[in-house]
Structure 1
Amino acid sequence: MTKSILIVEDDKEMAELTSMLFESEGYRCAICSDGDKAIEMVQALNPELVLLDLMLPGKSGLQICKEIRAFYTGAVLVLTGQDNEISEVALLKAGADDYVLKPLKPHVLIARVESIFRRLTPIEQTSAEHLVISGLHIYPTKRTVQLASGEALNLTTAEFDILLLLAQSAGTAVSRDECSRVSRGIESDAYDRSIDMRISGLRKKLSNTPIGDSIIVTVRNKGYMLSKS
């Protein structure tokens, strides 16, 4: 089935070129050039991925990302010219799954989107139909997580990927590199804070549930572990 992408970009020429690029790869695209209308379009179209420019008229990409995460569980890939740690931290806190720096290199952009979609595609032979770990009910095929009460835990794409990885290795430490490969399709480096921020986001969401955030343990010099209970 053809996957859909909503391109939120105010530069009309850039948006059209990006749309043509993805359509040539077999994707279905829609374009939004106004930050104030972007949230309505995400609700109406519910695309598999939102390609979101950071600098927009009206609401900024950061504001849009925060607001759509209240209801949108698909992937968000941000386009940004701000190559600094503060920008990365802000994007991850807002719920972005990944980001690509401008000026865009078409092959890099396509590769990053394909990596996201590969992670969204369930691998039946390695994913159990239903995992129950530490009070969490994890459904790999549906990509949903529920508490024992039946309440859904609203996670971003990357947060779900990391939680599933930790659950599949519960009781054993998982390295930051493994988490990075699962959530971004690339290995981390000594300056990469993205995994730490995603773990922090997971812990924050778990802290607001009866389960609590202590089930995710930092293992010094090794990575992270989901404790069994």
Structure 2
Amino acid sequence: MSKANILIVEDDKEISRLTAMYLEAEGYSSHIINDGLQAVTAVRLEQPELVILDLMLPGLDGVSVCKQLRKFYQEPILVLTACSDDISEVSLLKLGADDYLTKPVRPHVMLARIEALLRRSHPVTPSQNQLQVGLFNIDTNKQVVSYDNLTLVLTTAEYDMLLLLASHAGTIVSREDCCRALRGIDYDFNDRSVDMRISGLRKKLNDDTPPYKTILTIRNKGYMLING
């Protein structure tokens, strides 16, 4: 089952093709539009959950498309800009964009931004806001975590990391998936940001001396939260 329907508005055929392939490999459905005038009509008809919008378009430029969409479209708009585009982050956000990326776009970074935007636009409903795993109780509505009846004080990145591990308790979560929980950090396999968040969590669980009992390191694979 598809995660969400994403409209790609991009006139570079190779970029749009590769973007669609990557999104569909991750479980999203996508549709490509290569003209600004057609984009507005396509959004009205399809009502996608998110729009990826290039600024340099034939027919109607991306800035104008964004302005028109915001008259009726409330879902996230992720803008793609070239380094030479004479428009600031503040200007993009004022136009109605929810986030932006500068080309060339790295696929894993784009995916992390998309997932973060979709989480914010479709928050967890109250009926789904309690996650109980072993000694953990996670209120996903309030973003409050308790462990063995004690409330943990977590950073946003630590909370997102723990929620990912708890949602897959008892199974290995890859480093790349852990990276995506950090809401779009610029990550490569030499980056130590994931390890830092795991280390921070372990300290707050009083489990920062090997052998670890709560969050295990699975060599060359990732991490696993013990379900017990």
Report the residue type matching 1:110 in the other structure.
L
The equivalent residue for 1:219 is: none
Deviation at 1:120, TM superposition (A): 2.3
Are the equivalent residues in 2 in contact too, given 1:83–1:101 (CA < 8 A)? no
Aligned residues: 139
The equivalent residue for 1:156 is: none
The equivalent residue for 2:10 is: 9
| Cα root mean square deviation, aligned | 3.3
The equivalent residue for 1:70 is: 71
Distance in 2, matches of 1:116 and 1:72, equals 15
1:52-131 alignment runs, 5 A limit: 52-82=53-83, 86-125=87-126
Report the residue type matching 2:120 in the other structure.
R
Shift in CA distance, 25/186, structure 1 to aligned 2, threshold 3 Å: closer
Distance in 2, matches of 1:47 and 1:53, equals 16
Are the equivalent residues in 1 in contact too, given 2:8–2:31 (CA < 8 A)? yes
Are the equivalent residues in 1 in contact too, given 2:8–2:33 (CA < 8 A)? yes
The equivalent residue for 1:21 is: 22
Deviation at 1:119, TM superposition (A): 1.7
Shift in CA distance, 89/51, structure 1 to aligned 2, threshold 3 Å: same
Deviation at 1:107, TM superposition (A): 0.8
Tell me the alpha carbon deviations over residues 149-172 of structure 1, each in whole angstroms, 9 at most, x when there is no partner: xxxxxxxxxxxxxxxxxxxxxxxx
SS at match of 1:122: coil
Shift in CA distance, 186/126, structure 1 to aligned 2, threshold 3 Å: farther
Shift in CA distance, 36/85, structure 1 to aligned 2, threshold 3 Å: closer
1:1-229 alignment runs, 5 A limit: 2=2, 3-82=4-83, 86-125=87-126, 185=183
Shift in CA distance, 85/61, structure 1 to aligned 2, threshold 3 Å: closer
Shift in CA distance, 41/83, structure 1 to aligned 2, threshold 3 Å: same
Deviates more, 1:97-106 or 1:111-120: 111-120
Shift in CA distance, 186/27, structure 1 to aligned 2, threshold 3 Å: closer
Are the equivalent residues in 1 in contact too, given 2:11–2:35 (CA < 8 A)? yes
Distance in 2, matches of 1:109 and 1:41, equals 22
Distance in 2, matches of 1:63 and 1:85, equals 15
SS at match of 1:59: coil
Tell me the alpha carbon deviations over residues 135-156 of structure 1, each in whole angstroms, 9 at most, x when there is no partner: xxxxxx9xxxxxxxxxxxxxxx
Distance in 2, matches of 1:15 and 1:23, equals 12
Are the equivalent residues in 2 in contact too, given 1:4–1:47 (CA < 8 A)? yes
Tell me the alpha carbon deviations over residues 177-223 of structure 1, each in whole angstroms, 9 at most, x when there is no partner: 98xxxxx9479xxxxxxxxxxxxxxxxxxxxxxxxxxxxxxxxxxxx
SS at match of 1:72: coil
Are the equivalent residues in 1 in contact too, given 2:10–2:53 (CA < 8 A)? yes
Deviation at 1:86, TM superposition (A): 4.4
Shift in CA distance, 35/108, structure 1 to aligned 2, threshold 3 Å: same
Deviation at 1:83, TM superposition (A): 7.3
Distance in 2, matches of 1:9 and 1:84, equals 15
Shift in CA distance, 66/127, structure 1 to aligned 2, threshold 3 Å: farther
Structure number with greater Rg is 2
Structure 2: segments with no counterpart, 5+ residues: 130-140, 142-154, 157-181, 186-228
